[in-house]
Structure 1
Amino acid sequence: MLTGKLPLHVYKANQEVAPLLISEVEAREKVWQNHTNYFSVLWIKEGSGVLETDFSKTTYEASQVYCFNIYQAFALHPETVTNAQLLLFHPNFFCIETYQHEVGCNGVLFNQVYNAQPIAVNSETASELAQLLKNMQEEIATGELATGELVFSYLKIFLVKLTRLKTAQTPTCNPTIPIPAVLTQLETLINEHFTQHHQPSFYAEALHTPLKTLGNLSRKHFHKTLSLLIAEKIILKAKWELLHTDTQVKAVAASLGFKDEYYFSRFFKKHIGLSPAHFRQAEWDMRRGFLSIP
């Protein structure tokens, strides 16, 4: 379990700690890893290897972009020298939930359980994305009047461009890479039953498909195990409840099909790195701040 292996770095975004960070990444022979409370966008510029997150592993190569949700741990296992750029931004600066309709990225870039494919970046788009990152870096460096608003605008455009690329490359929109009908049915079933049924065997039986066959199809097309697909849906719903309601953790656990509040807390901490109560308190403390733009 990857999350349990990586230390969690919680950045408390404020005037002294930038709510948006851009850094250069170089991975040679050693594993490079990241686990923070910021949204993460990793752009592989050069190199190849294996990218690991939670239960899944996939190969990466140059000119690919990967997007990760807050508290999602990931690591690079380089096979050749890897150079990348890492963009981190806090929900207080740009809240995906708030701007999802304008940017359209909530279910495409960061919360897409069923599409773990990277975003392929061509040379033309690469120039545009690189310029936007440069603009953000320069504005942050100047710290002049309305810097936050300008950086916010650049980030918004950056995410829109990534969303358009990802949408155009989604397998379900590409007739040359068809998704088997049974996986489409699986998506529907998980969406309908993930709060009551957590075991992959339930879905295999409901679809009249051998568990091993369904698991192989999930790994082939979604690059994730059945258990991870279900777990991610549970975690997404749990985070929403903890962030947007004051429902007691015990009630949140029950609504997600956990009879034992403590088992739910262990499950949540295994994936996020914090207990539900600590996650809620930490995020409420930060999101009540003054950093939201505009």
Structure 2
Amino acid sequence: MGKIPVLEQCTVSYKEDKHFLADRLDVYLRSNNNLIFPHRHNFYQMVLFLSGEGSHEIDFKQYPIEKGQIYCMGPGQVHSWMFKGNMTGFIVNFDIDYFKSLLIQPSYVDNLNLFSSLNEGVFVLEDYQLQEISNLFNQLIVLNLEQTANDLKRSLLLYILLRLDQAYSPKFPGQSVDYHLVLIKNFISLIDENFRELHLPKDYAELLFVTPNHLNSVCKEYLGMQAGEVIRNRIMLEAKRLLILPDWTISQVAYELNFNDNSYFTKFFKKVEGKTPEEFRKLQWK
């Protein structure tokens, strides 16, 4: 069966370092003008737009491009862009293990708000932030030309990530990292690992050592939705990712997501999305 193309860092890098790339967006686009869309990455990507028109799409949500907008995307997300005219800005790619020799905690980058599945890693910088981040990206590009600056590149990139994380306004600003927020993050993490097999809130509540009612109330407070909806949204996202594959049948998608039969999956999909899997697929293939 076919899959959404997964682009590896080495296939989109025209530099000597296959684990890291920092460049101006227009230079990158000229060197990678044959990218296949939609696709996934097995690496992290950040893009800061300074000028240009069009839009980009991450996991089936479209964002119109504007000056100062930045997106931070982690491995596995489905991605495409529809640019118009001359695009300028910056792009940074780095692989999953890029900070391995620098950080004791391997999941440190994943735990940043920028890459958390609790939030959308797309936002617009204020003018003063845009000036600072642009200067830092310029420094990163200069360092990228130096063959012996690996630790400096890692350190500067980490500093940029932390400054962006500070500038980012997540869905629940001003709330401290308390027990409930930790519970939500653990819940999201468990869903990412188990959504194919576990479809019910009570299954996750048991793994989190809380009652289903407590899990529901915390999700309602922090996410504005019940636990069941959070689970359904993750299942739906994966369903959409699979439905855009031309050689996957509806039955194969249903089987992959552990639905007992095709008709049950179709009812589930239509109830959440408002259209059948077939209708969704036809819209994507237009």
- Structure-1-length-normalised TM-score: 0.52
1:119 to 120, 123, 130: 123
1:164, CA displacement in angstroms?
0.9
Amino acid in structure 2 at the alignment position of 1:133: F
Q: What secondary structure is seen at the aligned counterpart in 1 of 2:7? A: coil
| Change in CA separation of 1:59 and 1:202 when aligned onto 2, cut-off 3 Å | farther
Question: Shift of residue 131 of structure 1?
Answer: 1.9
Q: Name 1:11's counterpart in structure 2.
A: 10
Question: Which amino acid in 1 is paired with 2:42?
Answer: N
The 5 Å alignment of 1:1-294 reads: 4=4, 6=5, 8-11=7-10, 16-26=16-26, 35-78=40-83, 82-95=87-100, 99=103, 105-109=109-113, 111-143=115-147, 146-166=148-168, 169-173=169-173, 198=196, 202=200, 226-227=233-234, 231=238
CA distance in 2: counterparts of 1:49 and 1:71, whole angstroms: 23
CA contact (8 A) 2:23 2:141 kept: no
Residue deviations 1:77-120, cap 9 Å, x none?
A: 23675433210112343249x73869954223554112115132
Cα deviation, 1:136-185, whole Å, max 9, x if unaligned, reads 22223233xx411222221121111011112xx1121169xxxxxxxx99
DSSP 3-state at the match of 1:39: strand
Look at both structures and tell me which one has the larger radius of gyration over its CA atoms.
Answer: 2
**Unaligned ranges ≥5, structure 2:** 176-181, 203-211, 217-223, 240-256, 260-286
In the alignment, structure 1 segments of 5+ residues that lack a partner are 176-183, 210-216, 233-256, 260-294
Distance change in 2, residues 1:151/1:231 (3 Å): same
- Kept after mapping to 2: 8 A contact 1:46/1:84: yes
How far apart are the structure 1 equivalents of 2:75 and 2:233? 22
Distance 1:103 1:9 in 2: 20
2:119 is paired with a residue whose SS is coil
**CA distance in 2 between partners of 1:46 and 1:9 (Å):** 27
Residues 9, 19 of structure 2: 8 Å contact kept: no
Q: Partners of 2:91 and 2:125 in 1: how far apart?
A: 15
Change (3 A) 1:11 1:62: same
Overall identity of the aligned pairs, in %: 12
Return the offset for 1:130. 1.8
2-side partners of 1:103 and 1:189: how far apart?
Answer: 16
Counterpart CA distance in 2 for 1:18 and 1:193 is: 32
User: Following the alignment from structure 2 to structure 1, what is the Cα–Cα distance between the partners of residues 99 and 35?
Assistant: 29
Q: Which structure exhibits the higher relative contact order, with contacts defined as CA atoms closer than 8 Å and separated by 6 or more residues?
A: 1
**In 1, Cα distance between the equivalents of 2:200 and 2:171?**
26
CA displacement, residues 13-46 of structure 1 (integer Å, 9 cap, x when unaligned): 9x9434321233358xx99856443211111222
Give the count of matched residue pairs.
207
Q: For residues 197 and 162 of structure 1, do their structure 2 counterparts lie closer, same or farther at Cα, with a shift above 3 Å needed?
A: closer
**1:122, distance to aligned residue in structure 2 (A):** 1.7
CA deviation vs aligned residue, 1:31-83 (integer Å, no higher than 9, x gap):
98564432111112223433212343333422111111134341122367543
Instruction: Measure the CA separation in 2 of the matches of 1:83 and 1:32.
Output: 21
Task: Give the direction of change, closer, same or farther, for the CA distance of 1:80–1:20 in structure 2 (3 Å limit).
Answer: same
Opposite residue 234 of structure 2, the aligned amino acid is S
Displacement of 1:258 in angstroms is 6.6
Contact 2:45 2:73 in 1 (8 A): yes
Q: Is the 8 A contact 1:114 1:229 kept in 2?
A: no
Tell me the distance in 2 between the aligned counterparts of 1:106 and 1:192. 14
Conservation of the 8 A alpha-carbon contact between 2:118 and 2:188: no
